[in-house]
Amino acid sequence: MTGGGTRRRPAGGAVGAARGHGLRHVRLSSSRASRALTLAAAALVVAACVVVRATAQDNVQAAPSCREQEPQDFLVLGNFAGRGHFTPEQVRARRDTLAKAIRYRTEHYGYFAPFGQRDWNAHPPSFYAKNTTFMGLRVRLNEQIIPAVACAEAEIRRACADHPYTPTHLSGLRDHNTYRGGEVSNHVYGIALDVDPTRNTCCGCVPPWNDAPACHREGATVYERMEMPECWVHAFEKYGFYWLGHDQLMDTMHFEFLGDASRIRP
């Protein structure tokens, strides 16, 4: 979106010179003191500006105009999919959550048949797709979440320098669903990003993913079952992404934006 030009107010006019001879002497006699005060005030203003500018630069390096946010619960996969023992009431609630999640994704990110209804969005997800880069690699994603990816990247560059990792392969938007059983992958909406599938495996998925040696490491945490640094997970999580390493799937390569895309920029 392009915004309108910034309107500027005209600069305030210079303060008019004092008039009337009767007051002139008094003004002149106190002029040295007032000049000293003015200089002192100016020095304070300059010092304050330096502090403000330094703080602003720090913020730019940390994350340019990024608002932190949590994933929205009803979009989290584990709240409507996966194995478990559920009461009939819970089954109903989970089905409702899935329906709500499908409607939200359709309305915001595009209609992907047969999930949802065309009435909710006349456009397919490809309508909203744009090429972008993440850590120097090209990837195609829904344009609405690209600012959140930039926020995560800025955070990685700022906070994860002690954990060097260079990705070599990304996967974003897909034109086919890779889930079964009534669920739909966030890749079809362009809001999911896989980082190096062969280095960061999916231990809860079908073979060959769950055959990876990393999945059979005794006593390893899910963070130790991948090459990507844990620090990257936290950087993404800060800006509304959900990491599927937390899910039963233990899909460690996979981040999906489940925040509110209209709230990414303050």
**Least CB distance to Zn ion at residue 197 (A):** 8
Task: Choose between 191 and 192: whose C-beta lies nearer to Zn ion.
Answer: 192
Written as one string, the DSSP assignment of 204-220 is TSSTTGGGSGGGG-TT-
Which of 110, 254, 259, 261 touches Zn ion by CB under 5 A? 254
From 72-80, 198-206, 222-230, 253-261, give the range in contact with Zn ion by CB under 5 A: 253-261
The amino acid sitting at 163 is H
Which of 194, 196, 237, 247 touches Zn ion by CB under 5 A? 194
Q: Is 155 in the site for Zn ion (CB under 5 A)?
A: no
Give yes or no for a contact between 233 and 245, defined as CB atoms under 8 angstroms apart.
Answer: yes
From 5-13, 23-31, 216-224, 250-258, give the range in contact with Zn ion by CB under 5 A: 250-258
Identify the residue whose tokens are 């130790």.
224
Other Cβ atoms closer than 10 A to 137: 14
**Least CB distance to Zn ion at residue 172 (A):** 9
Task: Choose between 63 and 255: whose C-beta lies nearer to Zn ion.
Answer: 255
Task: Choose between 150 and 202: whose C-beta lies nearer to Zn ion.
Answer: 202
Residue number with the smallest Cβ distance to Zn ion? 254
Q: What interhelical angle do 230-237 and 146-159 show, nearest 10?
A: 140
Give yes or no for a contact between 214 and 203, defined as CB atoms under 8 angstroms apart.
Answer: yes
Task: Choose between 153 and 251: whose C-beta lies nearer to Zn ion.
Answer: 251
Q: How far apart are CA 151 and CA 174, in angstroms?
A: 23
Q: How far apart are CA 98 and CA 181, in angstroms?
A: 12
Q: Which residues bind Zn ion (CB under 5 A)?
A: 192, 194, 254
